[in-house]
Amino acid sequence: MNKLPLDQLKNIQLLAFDYDGVFTDGTILIDAAGNMLRQGHAKDGFAVQWACKQGIPLAIITGGREPSVEARMRGLGIEEVHLGCHDKLAVLSDLSQRSGIPLESMAYMGDDMPDKLALQHVGLSCCPADAAADILPLCDYVSSIKGGHGCVRELIEGFMKAKGVWNGKGQTNW
């Protein structure tokens, strides 16, 4: 198991994630009406909701465009939900400019080639255990868990424990 790099975590102020292949296992089901259906993990959802309640800035940056993804993430408390993104680094750069959080103080978890530039420019690059072969060597942290099976929870929980806020006590102004 690859351990979260605590020395890098101490400087992280924002966690950003791709959606498909990270929150999901990458499987997309299409119903008779053409709607794309995805499956996520409840533990990831809990960690997102808990982090948002503790004031941890989170962002979703995905190439997908389905309103259900946005509704789910906003329902969990994420304000920065970016759909239809093909230049994820540009979104992170804009977020950096608006928030005052430098790219070096951001972590990003992605799993495939559209995430490559974002992973190369953040302070902590992360991916699920089953990320694409070209992505794995780019990452500072490779989760022990596959996408859609709790890798988001693993990163968020590790981050919050390192910052002393997992138990709901501690710093809440990020």
Handedness of CA 95, 100, 101, 104 (dihedral sign): positive
pLDDT of residue 1: 45
pLDDT of residue 7: 83
CA distances from 43 to 83, 150, 151 (A): 22, 6, 9
- Enumerate domains of the chain plus CATH numbers: 7-25+38-117+135-163 (3.40.50.1000)
pLDDT in tens, 13-63: 999 999 999 999 999 999 999 988 899 999 999 999 999 999 999 999 999
pLDDT of residue 10: 87
**Global pTM value:** 0.94
Strand bridging mode 36-37 / 29-30: antiparallel
**3-state helix/strand/coil string of 15-47:** EEECCCCCCECCCCEECCCCCEECCECHHHHHH
pLDDT in tens, 154-172: 999 999 999 999 987 655 5
pLDDT of residue 172: 52
Cα–chain-centroid distance for residue 167? Answer: 21
pLDDT in tens, 82-140: 999 999 999 999 999 999 999 999 999 999 999 999 999 999 999 999 999 999 999 99
Q: Count CB-CB contacts under 10 A for residue 27.
A: 12
